[in-house]
């Protein structure tokens, strides 16, 4: 397949429209359209949806992954032969927010010394980062999923422990006469709609109260409702790590906080304002590094940096 045609496919997805993609490649709109038509003819299938922004079909997803791999390999090979234009290898990586705020910082320190590569980081929940890898948006991802995406390698990095935490004043508002807490009514927080940590812990607690197994899978609470419509406790969304932890401390709701982000004294029970919630327990999330199996020097270097930094995962 023609590499210029593959680059046109990637440009269409990245830029969102054919006109913008053509401008980014410094070619006319008609020349760009011809490249896409030629690639679709070669593939024997429609690869792009003619929408705004441009989308990919299922066949287009697979072709996009190939397009990005070819571009990275070609650019790095040209540079190694002294034929490059002085550009840097782009390393697009999907990272979950909690890793970004903790151990992944060491990867950034190492990347700061690289003169031949730049990082493009995509934040996504660890349960869904592999989707970005499968679609070709990124070349590597930190993910919960150990099963390698087609054309990728998967390696275990370590475990992040999450603890249910709340402000003591919040829990006191929901204590029964016997001192226990009705967690079915206590406000809770989540990072976003794809964050299932809190929902799964609440579902497990409710199952323990009813004496039946939890029916909540990784995606939510099953028949145990949650939200603002009376079906469950108030649910707040706080989509930044710093904001999430600050909201827990302020008493907005309880939430699952990584061990590495807990203030001193919370687990020991000596913190003046925050308490761990043993009734809701903790979650252990095993993280994996998935990357293209077709290696480049820059991707190999990034992988080594991630593995080294992950040794300090808490």
Per-residue pLDDT of the chain (314 residues; tens, 9 = 90+): 899 999 999 999 989 999 999 999 999 999 999 999 999 999 999 999 999 999 999 899 889 888 888 887 777 777 777 765 556 788 999 999 999 999 999 999 999 999 988 999 999 988 889 888 888 888 999 999 999 998 899 999 999 999 999 999 999 999 999 999 999 999 999 998 889 999 999 999 999 987 755 544 433 444 345 554 456 899 999 999 999 999 999 999 999 999 999 999 999 999 999 999 999 999 999 999 999 987 788 999 999 999 999 998 86
* Cα–Cα distance for residue pair 7/220, rounded to 1 Å: 39
Checking phi first, is residue 227 left (phi over 0); if not, alpha (psi -120 to 50) or beta?
A: left
- The pTM of this model reads 0.78
CB 201 within 8 A of CB 221: no
Q: In terms of DSSP bridges, do strands 89-95 and 140-143 run parallel, antiparallel, or are they unpaired?
A: parallel
- For 245, other C-beta atoms within 10 Å of its C-beta total 21
Q: How far is CA 78 from CA 87, 112, 140, 160, in A?
A: 10, 23, 22, 40
Q: CATH 1.10.10.10 residue ranges in the chain?
A: 1-85
Peptide bond into 19 cis (omega under 30): no
CB 266 within 8 A of CB 259: no
Supply the pLDDT for residue 86: 53
Tell me the H-state helices in the chain.
3-15, 18-25, 29-43, 58-80, 97-100, 105-111, 129-135, 168-172, 197-210, 241-250, 297-310
Cβ neighbors of 27 (< 8 A, separation 6 or more) are 35
Supply the pLDDT for residue 70: 84
Residues 26, 29, 35, 36, Cα dihedral to 10°: 120
Q: CATH 3.40.190.10 residue ranges in the chain?
A: 161-282
CB 168 within 8 A of CB 275: yes
* Cα–Cα distance for residue pair 125/299, rounded to 1 Å: 22
CATH 3.40.50.300 fits 161-282, yes or no: no
* Cα–Cα distance for residue pair 74/76, rounded to 1 Å: 6
Q: How far is CA 273 from CA 164, 258, 283, 289, in A?
A: 14, 17, 22, 36
CATH number assigned to the domain covering 1-85: 1.10.10.10
Supply the pLDDT for residue 219: 39
Supply the pLDDT for residue 87: 64
* Cα–Cα distance for residue pair 150/292, rounded to 1 Å: 9
Q: How far is CA 14 from CA 29, 55, 232, in A?
A: 16, 10, 40
* Cα–Cα distance for residue pair 183/206, rounded to 1 Å: 8
> For residue 126, what is the DSSP state?
T
* Cα–Cα distance for residue pair 198/187, rounded to 1 Å: 11
Q: What is the largest distance, in Å, between two alpha-carbon atoms of the chain?
A: 76
């Amino acid at each position: 397949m023609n590499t210029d045609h593959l680059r046109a496919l990637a440009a269409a997805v990245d830029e969102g429209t054919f006109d913008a993609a053509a401008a980014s490649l410094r070619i006319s709109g008609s020349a760009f359209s011809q490249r896409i038509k030629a690639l679709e003819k070669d593939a024997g299938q429609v690869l792009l949806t003619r929408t705004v922004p441009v989308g990919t079909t299922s066949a287009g997803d697979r072709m996009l992954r190939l397009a990005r791999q070819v571009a990275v390999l070609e650019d790095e090979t040209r540079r190694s032969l002294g034929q490059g234009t002085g550009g840097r290898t782009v390393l697009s990586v999907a990272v979950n927010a909690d890793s970004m705020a903790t151990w992944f910082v060491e990867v950034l320190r190492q990347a700061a010394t690289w003169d031949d590569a730049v990082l493009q980081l995509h934040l996504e929940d660890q349960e869904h980062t592999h989707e970005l890898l499968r679609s070709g948006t990124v070349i590597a991802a930190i993910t919960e999923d150990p099963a390698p995406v087609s054309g990728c390698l998967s390696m275990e990095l370590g475990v992040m422990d999450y603890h249910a935490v709340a402000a003591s004043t919040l829990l006191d508002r929901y204590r029964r006469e016997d001192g226990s807490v009705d967690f079915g009514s206590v406000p809770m927080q989540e990072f976003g709609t794809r964050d299932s940590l809190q929902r799964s812990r609440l579902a497990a607690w409710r199952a323990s109260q009813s004496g039946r197994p939890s029916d909540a899978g990784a995606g939510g609470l099953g028949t145990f409702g949650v939200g603002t419509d009376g079906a469950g406790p108030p649910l707040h969304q706080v989509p930044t790590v710093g904001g999430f932890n600050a909201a827990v401390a302020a008493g907005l709701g309880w939430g699952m906080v990584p061990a590495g982000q807990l203030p001193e004294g919370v687990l020991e029970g000596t913190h003046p304002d925050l308490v761990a919630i043993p009734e809701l327990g903790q979650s252990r999330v095993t993280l994996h590094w998935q990357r293209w199996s077709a290696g480049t020097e820059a991707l190999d270097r990034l992988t080594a940096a991630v593995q080294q930094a992950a040794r300090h995962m808490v």
